[in-house]
Amino acid sequence: MVLSPLALAACMCLFILLLGLPMSLEFSSGTLISYQGLENKPDVASIERSLRGMLQKEVKAEVTTDPATGKFGLDIQTTALVYENEEKENQILALLSSFGLENPSILPYEPALGRIYKRQAVEGILIASLAIGLCLLFVYRRKVTLLTVPCVLLDLLVAVGGMCLTRTPLSLASLAGLLLLLGYGVDTNVLLATYVLKRFEGEPEERVASAMKTGFTITLTTLLTMLAVNLFVTNPSLDQLSTVLVFGLAADLLNTWFLNASILLWHASKKRMYYVSL
């Protein structure tokens, strides 16, 4: 029971190291292509779709309006480093000229907010994990409950590995999914710990089986819902959030009901042997 989640975590570590985690526009550097003084409003959806197909990178286009002249502007952000490849730059300019867009300014950018977001994301997850561990220690008064935190962090590890596999970028939406997963993983582990450590009717194995029935029902229901959202909803933010939750919830089934359940069963058996010997 213990080997399966640990083997999965090791595989995901390998994927993260080999593939790397893609970054969204909020977190990465890239290129800004800007147009000013346009007479007609550009077709943003078609431009985004065409550039995304050519670059295979994240692209975001936004129309602006000059209140003084009434003319339009267009700002295109992409994580592709267009200015480093002259051939690629010419291809992009040719594509954009087919939409009637000429003479852009092409500038590199490194969003200052991206560095702040990265630091705050790491700090938020670490502080939340520490707070969760302290709360569990205070409620259950047993050090074994602190192992809940590594189990939840393994959920996050598998979710990040899934993002690397599916090339889902780290964005504000996927970061929200990671934080939701953090809370969800704590809920299932608290359910397990309550059944094993706070209840005394029956054998520990019976209490784990009862908790597993409830936990599997809850997690599988949510997992199937997120899988349906991922398959049938085309909104990029929902797609990123659901991808994180699909991988993370699948990992939570192993990390909670195999890894942590084994540890708590060992702890309960050890305590039972101690009291029997007394």
Could you read off the pLDDT of 87-126 as tens digits, one per residue? 888 888 888 888 888 888 888 876 655 666 667 777 777 7
Superfamily name and number for 3-23+113-277: Multidrug efflux transporter AcrB transmembrane domain (1.20.1640.10)
- 161 — pLDDT class (breaks 50, 70, 90): very high
Residue 273: per-residue pLDDT: 44
Distances (CA, A) of 129 to 66, 103, 134, 147: 47, 50, 9, 11
CATH code for the domain defined by 30-110: 3.30.70.260
Please tell me the distance from the alpha carbon of residue 270 to that of residue 19, in angstroms, as a whole number. 42
Is residue 225 within 8 Å of residue 168, measured between CB atoms? no
Is residue 33 within 8 Å of residue 76, measured between CB atoms? yes
| Mean pLDDT value of segment 9-34 | 86
Query: Beta strand pairing status for 30-38 and 72-78?
Result: antiparallel
Q: How far is CA 122 from the centre of its chain?
A: 12
Please tell me the distance from the alpha carbon of residue 240 to that of residue 242, in angstroms, as a whole number. 6
The secondary structure element, H or E, covering residue 35 is: strand 30-38
Please tell me the distance from the alpha carbon of residue 226 to that of residue 157, in angstroms, as a whole number. 18
Q: How many residues does the chain have?
A: 278
Backbone angles phi, psi at 43, to 5 degrees: -85, 90
Is residue 177 within 8 Å of residue 248, measured between CB atoms? yes
Q: Where in the chain is the domain with CATH 3.30.70.260?
A: 30-110
| Mean pLDDT value of segment 256-270 | 82
Is residue 145 within 8 Å of residue 193, measured between CB atoms? yes
Is residue 21 within 8 Å of residue 170, measured between CB atoms? yes
Q: Where in the chain is the domain with CATH 1.20.1640.10?
A: 3-23+113-277
